[in-house]
Amino acid sequence: MDNAKLVFDGKEYELPTFIGTENEPAIDIKKLRDTTGAITYDPGYGNTGACKSSITFIDGEQGILRYRGYPIEELAGKLRFSAAAYLMLFGKLPTEKEFTDWSKALTQNSFIHSSQVNFLDHYPSKAHPMNILGSMVSSMSSFYPHDSEDEDHVNINIQRLVGQVKTIAAFSYRKSVGLPYIYPRTDHSYSANFLRMMFASPAEEYVVPKVMEDALDTLLILHMDHEQNCSTSTVRMVCSSMANIYASISAGINALWGKLHGGANEAVLDMLTQIHQDNGDYMKYVNMAKDKNSNFRLMGFGHRVYKNFDPRATLLKDIVDRVLEEMGIHDPLLDIAKNLEEVALKDEFFIQRKLYPNIDFYSGILYRALGIPTEMFTVLFAIGRMPGWIAHWLEMRQDPDLRIQRPRQIYMGPTLRHFEPDGTLM
């Protein structure tokens, strides 16, 4: 591939180029400022590649999502979450023995340190579970060794993070409703353990419905990684300072908490509820979204990366239908969602703007069907995203090009001025 040519301030410069394994061309601008004196301006980093990665590939124009080379359609609904997490973290699918050992290790390392449980007990009962999750993960560095150069420490901390995130989440829910904690079991899958810890009673046996277990597995896999999104980029940013794994992941959790990131599925459910309470008049809200003088926008449509149908939404739509049918649930919000989707796929306003339904459009409805309270939606997102965050942390610490991340800025403030003391401020 030829070098790129840049004409700037009357001079011509050549910039190196390279191509990724999926034929994505890139211009290497590492020495741009040194050679030209200029920097790039790219708000939101929409055109800036901050790293080379071998974890996740997205083609937004074609609606393609692959983990470690595997299409999402071949993983979601066909693997247990813990098997997909192994693939995400270690770059290959586990053998039967590796899967058994890995699943057992996740359960054995899912028990929260007793002093941390005491820490959790002192949160207010109405504390948001994302606040609890972020601070509890951050505090893990006070309880466990976290030498990033010791592979044994790294491996056990990976198991602790993936294992304990669901325990912290379930405990925070049970605390909020005044229920005693339920601990995980080695004879349950990852998702079955989470559902049991959420909803079981100590007074009787609780059998996790398989349809719920399978649906949660799929949901978590669909959320597992999505390239350099806000929370993943935050993990990488913090990791670049050589912060420990717990500090880096906690930062990602806090980034995910934002309503424009992990909180989007809550916003979808709020919107559907609002429409339902307004006699289900969904066309009223479609017209409001199309009105340039209105501030209303339909939540769950469009995506920063996908300019086609979000492949995760395609998979999730089928799962929602199946779960509601098998569990005998009629949800009027789903009827509204289907009507909105039908309009969006046929209306030129949405087609021209490529406003297709995304994963948030259906995930909130599925969480609702599984009995997950609304304030826990983003926590479920974090549970699914945990292996992805850790995979990026692992990849970055092994990157030979690792440098502490330090974006530039274009200064637009006052030019040089001087302070002349007159005694009033002294």
In angstroms, rounded to a whole number, what is the distance separating the alpha carbons of residues 50 and 113?
Answer: 36
In angstroms, rounded to a whole number, what is the distance separating the alpha carbons of residues 220 and 72?
Answer: 12
Q: Enter the tokens of residue 82.
A: 């813990």
In angstroms, rounded to a whole number, what is the distance separating the alpha carbons of residues 40 and 332?
Answer: 49
In angstroms, rounded to a whole number, what is the distance separating the alpha carbons of residues 257 and 379?
Answer: 8
> Cα dihedral angle (163, 164, 170, 174), rounded to 10 degrees?
150
Q: Enter the tokens of residue 402.
A: 């690792």
Evaluate whether 133 touches 382 at the Cβ level (below 8 Å): yes
Q: Assess whether 291 carries a catalytic annotation.
A: no
Q: Enter the tokens of residue 318.
A: 């089928």
Catalytic residue among 217, 223, 360, 392: 360
Q: Assess whether 34 carries a catalytic annotation.
A: no
In angstroms, rounded to a whole number, what is the distance separating the alpha carbons of residues 94 and 85?
Answer: 10
In angstroms, rounded to a whole number, what is the distance separating the alpha carbons of residues 189 and 332?
Answer: 31
In angstroms, rounded to a whole number, what is the distance separating the alpha carbons of residues 118 and 69?
Answer: 43
In angstroms, rounded to a whole number, what is the distance separating the alpha carbons of residues 203 and 357?
Answer: 42
In angstroms, rounded to a whole number, what is the distance separating the alpha carbons of residues 79 and 218?
Answer: 8
In angstroms, rounded to a whole number, what is the distance separating the alpha carbons of residues 79 and 58?
Answer: 20
What pairs with residue 6 in β-bridges? 13
Residue closest to 306 by CA, chosen among 342, 359, 263: 359
In angstroms, rounded to a whole number, what is the distance separating the alpha carbons of residues 76 and 224?
Answer: 10
In our burial notation (b when 16+ CB lie closer than 10 A, e otherwise), range 300-311 reads bbbbebbeebbb
Q: What is the DSSP letter of 357?
A: B
Evaluate whether 120 touches 172 at the Cβ level (below 8 Å): yes
Catalytic residue among 303, 321, 330, 418: 303
In angstroms, rounded to a whole number, what is the distance separating the alpha carbons of residues 56 and 144?
Answer: 30
Catalytic residue ranges: 303, 360
